[in-house]
Structure 1
């Protein structure tokens, strides 16, 4: 026997290689059924794929869900911020719309009889004291804009007061609803009798102006409108002051006294008109006026 065939290890190795090549060649052939070794290997690999793949999928899904929750949280924060911004924008829009409406109203007071005898200075209410809410307001126009002490102040709803202090860029307006004011306003009732009297004082508890010095025989009733009479040339004739709420007599029974509900809502003022009387020469009044 040749020496080659006497080496058992070499023969076994050669036989194994031949078997392996034959097995690979057999596996590569197209056929419908797998051999039992192939089935064993295929099932074993499939089992371990299931064992290791399922936990990996669960872990990957868990982290994916965590990431989705984080994204939803961030989107929710952004959405809430947008909602807050929208609410603020809506509030700003409502405020601007209210100011625009108020300003627009101030440009339409031409129904007053002699309003053409006055120049109008539209001013914005810049400040008012909480304690003196119905007493005074501060507006954003002063000496630099030509404002002078004593000029009447109105809104589209009616007469509200007069300028009582002026600085360079702002002015103080004392309202007709100031109970401490000693201001007297010549007024008349708009009826066929044209009853005259004086607005003297304000009752804060009743929210009424006191219309005094009315002739005891004068005919005046609830609901009659009271306007400025123009006497004294301080205020334009025909500025609406309010409506008669009740009528009585003074303590001595010599004159009538009427309670007047103010026409202008002085508790909510955004813009006002400051009236400047025109003159024949310059078109404006050279000095402020005080008095009744």
Structure 2
């Protein structure tokens, strides 16, 4: 235990006396240089200590305030997290609405560019089978849909054709299905060669365009469109892009691997072409191919498409 001795008592008295004297001169407005210097010295010495004590007291006070209000803070954090989750869901919902609006605008824009009579539809199911590439849409016979009607995406890409119809829904066989065949034509003006585009039925195998003439002008990067040489599909629908060309049938013909355009998009909405003028489409494509069209290939296109449909 601390004990006061004589020296300590004398020192304390002197300090107190000095403080009283300095205070007296300070508050009496007497202008004495020594007293002013001493007063400033004492003030500058004590002020940092007082500030440190003040901050320490504030920190202790804030600590106890936080400690006693921890339940309230936890409840506020919980409410903020709930609000954040709600806002995130709303953002996702609005982003989905925005994407849907963009797709619908693209569908409307495509519909305005062509003379087809079309019916919009939403994709409501995908076939679980690994052997068939089929989707189900929410439009059926009540909406005027019939078997074999072509189906396109909002980009104008060929998706497939109606396989079966119900009253309020229909099944669409995709162009990637192994039983799907459509006549294709190279979009490049200098070529305009024709062939048959066939689905591979598997994601790990390329889709093929075969029955191409052995001397046909076809190269990597060419865009393939529907030829319109049969009555099943209108001419000019975008199918895909040539990724590889090689000889076929021991050099008697050529075949090409095709990257289908629908492989790069998610099918959520589609358009069913209910009516198109096949005669005009066929005549236009025939005129464009007068100089290089192989009549035997044209016949093969129609025969293969009809076999596949039956």
The 5 A counterparts of 1:11-160 are 68-109=69-110, 115-116=114-115, 118-132=116-130, 135-155=133-153, 156-160=155-159
2:218 to 205, 220, 224: 220
Question: Which residue pairs with 1:164 in the alignment?
Answer: 163
Structure 1 position 184 matched with structure 2 position 181: yes
CA change 1:201–1:133 in 2 (3 A) is closer
Deviation at 1:129, TM superposition (A): 3.4
3-state DSSP of counterpart to 1:185: strand
Distance 2:112 2:202 in 1: 29
Distance 1:71 1:178 in 2: 61
Distance 2:131 2:97 in 1: 22
Is this contact kept in 2: 1:243–1:261, CA < 8 A? yes
3-state DSSP of counterpart to 2:146: coil
3-state DSSP of counterpart to 2:221: coil
Question: Which residue pairs with 1:276 in the alignment?
Answer: 274
TM-score (norm 1): 0.67
Runs of at least 4 residues off by over 4 Å: 61-67, 130-134
Answer 1 or 2: which has greater helix percent.
Answer: 2
Deviation at 1:265, TM superposition (A): 3.1
Larger Cα Rg: Structure 1 or Structure 2? 1
Ranges in structure 1 where 5+ consecutive residues have no aligned partner: 1-60, 281-289
TM-score (norm 2): 0.63
2:253 to 246, 252, 255: 255
Deviation at 1:79, TM superposition (A): 0.7
Is this contact kept in 2: 1:160–1:266, CA < 8 A? no
Deviation at 1:277, TM superposition (A): 1.1
**How many residue pairs are counted as aligned between the two chains?**
218
Distance 2:260 2:277 in 1: 30
Is this contact kept in 2: 1:243–1:262, CA < 8 A? yes
Is this contact kept in 2: 1:187–1:198, CA < 8 A? yes
Is this contact kept in 2: 1:211–1:260, CA < 8 A? yes
Distance 1:70 1:278 in 2: 70
Question: Which residue pairs with 2:236 in the alignment?
Answer: 238
3-state DSSP of counterpart to 2:118: strand
3-state DSSP of counterpart to 1:268: coil
3-state DSSP of counterpart to 1:273: strand
3-state DSSP of counterpart to 2:72: helix
- The Cα RMSD (Å) is 2.8
Ranges in structure 2 where 5+ consecutive residues have no aligned partner: 1-61, 279-304
3-state DSSP of counterpart to 1:264: helix
Is this contact kept in 1: 2:137–2:172, CA < 8 A? yes
